[in-house]
Amino acid sequence: MAQEHSPDPPPGATPGDHPAVDRGASPDPARRPRPGWAPFLQVGTRVVVRYAIDRSASPHGEGMTDALGVVEDADEDTVTIATKRGSDRVVRGLVTAARPVPDPPRRRGGAGR
C-alpha cells in the first residue's frame, strides 16, 4: 500500500487553503508550547513521560525512554518523577510526550485464592 503524501503548499497559502497547511502546526513560533511543558506536570500527579536519552550511554542504543510515576518536584527546567526504581529527574527540554495516567489497579483477594 502506498503512503499518502501531500505536496508542499503553494506560497502564501493559509490554513484551509491547502491540506498540508492544516496539520496543527502553528505558523507563529511564539504560540508553540515550550518543550516539556504540560499543565498537568504538577506535584502529586501520576504521569508517564517519554524523553530523549544519550544513545551511547543506553544499554541497547535506545534514543528514548519512559518514566512512569508520581511527580515529586517540578520547576521551569526539570520534572522529578518517583518511579518504582527510584526518582528520575528529567530535563523538560528532552520531553517529547507526556500524559496523566490513572492510579494503578488495586490487587484483589489474598494468598491462596
41-55 per-position pLDDT tens digit: 999 999 999 999 999
| Domain range enclosing 75 | 41-100
Number of folded domains that form the chain: 1
This prediction has a pTM of 0.63
Q: What is the DSSP string of the chain?
A: -PPP-PPPPPTT--BTTBTTT-SS--S-GGGSPPTT--TT--TT-EEEEEEE--GGGSTT--SEEEEEEEEEEE-SSEEEEEETTEEEEEEGGGEEEEEE-PPPPPP-S-TT-
Residues 71-91: tens digit of each pLDDT: 999 998 999 999 999 999 999
- Judge whether 7 lies within some domain: no
CATH number for the domain spanning 84: value is 2.30.30.100
Of 1 and 107, more confident: 107
| Percent of all residues in the chain with a pLDDT value above 70, rounded to a whole number | 65
